[in-house]
Structure 1
Amino acid sequence: MYIPFSVTGCSLELLRTGEQGIVVFSKTHDQTILEKLRSMGITPGTIITLEQQFPSAIIQVGNILFPIDQESIRAIYVRVIDS
């Protein structure tokens, strides 16, 4: 009756703690957010791990942990990496 499916791409906001994704694009025209993401090394092809979601979001890019605001998280779209 039900057809199984899996999410292969989504906003970084929808990842669960510990999940990884490869950045596909940034969905914002806000230059401030785009510059902030570039300064953290977040560009298409970058692997991101969501380390913590609450009380504030923390992502890992390479070996570096970054706190990140919700507006920036919503702008990042990733292809989910199967674990």
Structure 2
Amino acid sequence: KVDAAYPKFFSDPSKANAQFKLFWVGVGRDDVLTGPGDLEFDEMLTRRGITHMFAQTDGRHEWTVWRHHLYDVAPLLFK
């Protein structure tokens, strides 16, 4: 689990929130590399109060998904 791998980051939400201006996660619904862990990761961040944005679209771990997410996240990078 990712929270076990990075306990210092995930155990202190205020520190985590201060470190990132934008914490954005975008995945494909059918991504075989990450699977159901995507939703668990989103839920863990929410439960711990870590500010983030989570986007899940149709598709796998592929360019069509990445292009869609890039279109959504690129404007946020320059705010």
> How would you bin the TM-score normalised by the shorter chain?
under 0.3
TM-score by length of 1: 0.27
TM-score by length of 2: 0.28
Higher relative contact order (CA 8 A, sep 6+): 1
User: Relative to total residues, which structure has the larger strand share, 1 or 2?
Assistant: 1
